[in-house]
Amino acid sequence: MAGTEGGGGRGAGPLLLGVRHHGPGSARAVRAALDAAQPRVVLIEGPPEADALIPLAADEDMRPPVALLAHAVDEPGRSAFWPLAEFSPEWVAIRWALEHEVPARFIDLPATHTLAWEKDDGEGELTGEEQPPDPTDETPTAGTPSSEPPSAPEPSGPDLRVDPLAVLAETAGYDDPERWWEDVVEHRGAGERDAFAPFTALEEAMGALRETYGVGGHERDLVREAYMRLQVRAAQREFEDDVAVVCGAWHVPALRQKAGVAADRALLKGLPKVKTDLTWVPWTHRRLSRASGYGAGIDSPGWYGHLFSAPDRPVERWMTKVAGLFREEDRIVSPAHVIEAVRLAETLAVMRGRPLPGLGETTDAVRAVMCEGSDVPLALVHDRLVVGDVLGEVPPGAPAVPLQRDLDRLQRKLRIKPEALERELELDLRKETDAGRSRLLHRLRLLRIEWGEPVASRGSTGTFRETWRLRWEPELAVRVAEAGVWGTTVLAAATAKAEGDAIGAQSLADVTALAERCLLAELPDALPVVMKVLADRAALDTDVGHLAQALPALVRSLRYGDVRGTDTGALTEVAAGLAERVFVGLPPACAALDADAAEEMRRHVDAVHGAVALLGDASGHGHGDTSAPGQGDGPGPGPGHGDLRGRWRVVLRTLSARDTVPGVIRGRAVRLLLDEGELGPDEAARLMGLVLSPGTPPADAAAWIEGFVGGGGGLLLVHDERLLGLVDEWLTRVPAEAFTDVLPLLRRTFSSYEPGVRRTLGELVRRGPGKQVGTAATAAGIPGFGAELDAGRADAVVPVLRLLLGLDDVVDNGDNELVGVAG
C-alpha cells in the first residue's frame, strides 16, 4: 500500500482506522490516513444492504446530516438508523472513496439480522452506531421474536458495562471524557508527519481495555465482529492488503485478532432474519446530541461541525457566530466584545493547560464578556449553536416508499418545506394554498405523522384561521413508512386509516372526534363510513354523559364543514338527533349525584349549551363574521329540528326548578337562562333569594352560588347590585360551625375571577350599605351601588369613547393637553 512505510499505525494486514463515530478530529485523521495509504477498497462499519446507496453520497443534493434508515418490510415500525454528519469519519471515508473512484462497502452485521435480533427487546428505535458507554447503541424495537439468536461466548473479563473513553480519560488525569477527547484527538495539530500515529495509539489503548474488561458487558459485539472479520478476509482475497477499515475504535483489537473462519461462521449460524428496506433520510444536529437519547450522541454537534468546517482560527470564527446570534436577538454586542472574548478564551486555555481553547473555555468567555455573567442568554447559544438545528437533505432519487414520494410532491406543490427549527405557520383557509396546507397537515395527523400541531390562533377566533406549530423530526420518516400500509398517497392512506379507526373506535366520543378530523382533513370518501358508525353508536349508547360529550365535537364539525364548503347534511341530522336524546335524558341523569359527578355533569351542561347555540346558527343563521366570505349559510338541520334552542331552554328551566338536581347544576341553569335573556334579572334575584334563604343548608347554597357565578360570573356581580347584595347578606348569616365547610367551595369560585374583578368586588363589599359612590347616594341595604344613574360621571367618559371610536378630531388646546373636537 503506497505511502505506508514507516507509519507507526501501519503494519502487515489491512489498515484499521479506529474512530469515534462523530468527531471532527477523527474525521480529519481518517482523511489524512486514506490520503497517505491510498487503499484500493474502503470498508466501513454499517449495514451491507446499504452498499447500493453509497453512490448517492456524491449527489449534489445530498447534504448531511443524514442517516441510513432500515425498516422491516412487513413491520415498518421496526427500524434502525445509522446517522452520519459532515464530521463523521464514516461519511469522510465514503466521500473519499467516491472522489478517488475506490469501492466502498459496509461490513457490519446486516440489518436483516439486527432488526430481527432486537424483536424481543420492547419498544423504541435502533441506532446502528457504537459509542460508549454502550458500544452497540441499540435501543430495543417493538415486536416479538420469531426465533432466538444464538448465545454469544461469555466475555473473558468481568461482565460490566465499560465506558472506554471514561477509563482512558481517568487514566490520563481528566475528570471529563469529552475534554480529554478534545485535547487528544479533536485539537491535534494538522500536518503531522505520521498520519497513522493516532490510530496506533487508540488501538493499543482499546486492546488494553479489552484485555481488562473483555467485551465490557456487550456480548453481541462478538457476533458483529465475527461478521466484520469475514468481510475483511473477503476483501483481502480480492485486494490483498490494500484494504482500509473504518470502524469504532472499540472493535479494532477484535478485527486484528487471528480468529478462525469456522469459529466466526459458527457464531453467525442460525441468526434470525426479517425482510428489510433501506434508504437515506434527513437527520438533524439536535438528534445527534446525547440529550436526545441517541446512544452514540455527542454533547455539542454544532460545535463539532464548526471545528470541522473552520479548521483555521476556529475560536475567532466561533465568537463571531455568537455575536451574530446575539445581534439577531437584539442584544448589543460589538467587535470589541468579540476580541475580548477570544483573548479570554485563549488565556483560560493556557491557564488550564489545554493545547487550544475548547468548548468550555469559549463558553466561559462568552458568559463573562457577552452575557455579563448571566446564564440566560448563554442558554440560547447552547441551543442554537452548540447543539443547533441543522437539517440535512436527501436527493429526490433516493429510494422511498410511494407514500413518501407523494408527501414530497405535496410539500413542493404547497411550498411547505420541512425544517428542524420549530416555527409557527398562520393559515387563512380562504386562500387555496393555505387550505391545501391545512388539509395536508390534518391528513398527516390522522396518519400519526405529527409534523404539525394545531395551536390557538392569535387575534382571531374565526373558523377560517388556523395556526400550526411545525417541526420535522427524523423519526417521522419511520412514521411515513408505517403509514404506507394504508395507501400509496396521503389522501388514500388518510381515508383508509380513518375508516379503520372508525370501525375500531372504543367510544362514541372517539367516533365524533374522528368525524371532526375527517372534515378538517377533507376526506369525503371516509365520512360516510364514519357517519354510519357514528349513527349506530349513538343509537345504542344510553349514557347521557357520553352523548353530551359527543355533541360539541359534531357541532364544531358543522362549522368546519361550512368554511371548507363541505356538504354536512348527514352530520347535521345526526347532531340534531343526538341533541334531542340529550334533552330527554339530561334531567333524570342529573338527579341524586355526588359532588364530583355533579361537577362533571355541570361541564356537560355548559358544553351542550354552546353546542346548541352553534347548531341553532347552522339551522339557517350562518356564522356571521367567523365564516369565510362567499361560503353561504350552513345547511339546515332538516324538518323538525328548527327549534332546538327553544327545547333546550325548557330543559334548563326544568333543571333550575328541581330540588333533586344538585345546586351547582341548578345554579348554572339559572345563569344560562339569564344570559340568554329568557330569565329577567328580577326573577334571577328571586331564585337566588330562595336558595340563599335560612332554610337552605349552607353547603347546598354555596354549590348553587358556584354554579351561578362560576366561570366568569364575577362581572355579573359587579354590575348587578341586587345579586351581590344577596350573596353578601347570605354570607354574613352563615353559622360559624358551617362556615369552614363552605369556605373551600367559595374560595374556589371567587379565586377563578380576574384580579381586577376580585379587587372591584372587594371594594364594593368594603364600602357597605349607605355609603356614597361618586355623587350618587347608595341604595339602602345594597353595598357600593347608587340608586340611579350618575349622569356627571357618565358624561366624563363620552369624550374618551369618541376618541377611541374615531368620531372626534384631536387638537392641542394650548395647555399641552389633547382634547376631542366633535366632528
Cα 177 to Cα 85, 170, 229, 642: the distances in Å are 21, 8, 29, 74
Nearest to 331 by CA among 366, 376, 370: 370
Query: Could you give the CA distance from residue 640 to residue 576 in angstroms, rounded to a whole number?
Result: 9
The three grid cell numbers given for residue 199, joined into one nine-digit string: 490510530
Query: Could you give the CA distance from residue 141 to residue 120 in angstroms, rounded to a whole number?
Result: 8
The pLDDT score that the predictor gives to residue 701 is 76
The pLDDT score that the predictor gives to residue 466 is 85
Cα 818 to Cα 84, 803, 807, 821: the distances in Å are 66, 10, 15, 10
The pLDDT score that the predictor gives to residue 345 is 93
- Strands of 276-282's sheet in order across: 126-127, 79-84, 66-72, 276-282
| HSE-CB for 557 with a 13 A CA cutoff | 30
This prediction has a pTM of 0.65
Q: What is the mean pLDDT of each run of 10 residues along the chain (823 residues)?
A: 43 83 85 92 94 92 90 81 91 94 93 77 41 35 33 40 73 74 64 75 84 69 90 91 90 86 88 89 81 63 88 89 91 92 93 85 93 89 88 86 88 88 86 90 91 76 77 83 85 91 81 82 84 76 74 70 56 75 83 82 85 66 37 38 76 85 84 81 76 75 77 68 72 73 73 76 69 40 56 83 74 48 45
Cα 73 to Cα 400, 447, 484, 565: the distances in Å are 12, 18, 10, 39
Beta bridge pairs of residue 425: 468
What is the β-pairing status of strands 243-248 and 41-44?
parallel
Contact partners, residue 349, CB within 8 Å, separation at least 6: 355, 356, 357, 358, 361
The pLDDT score that the predictor gives to residue 797 is 85
The pLDDT score that the predictor gives to residue 612 is 82
Query: Could you give the CA distance from residue 435 to residue 441 in angstroms, rounded to a whole number?
Result: 10
Cis peptide bond prior to 133, omega within 30° of 0? yes
Going 505 to 510 to 511 to 513, the CA torsion angle's sign is negative
The pLDDT score that the predictor gives to residue 343 is 95
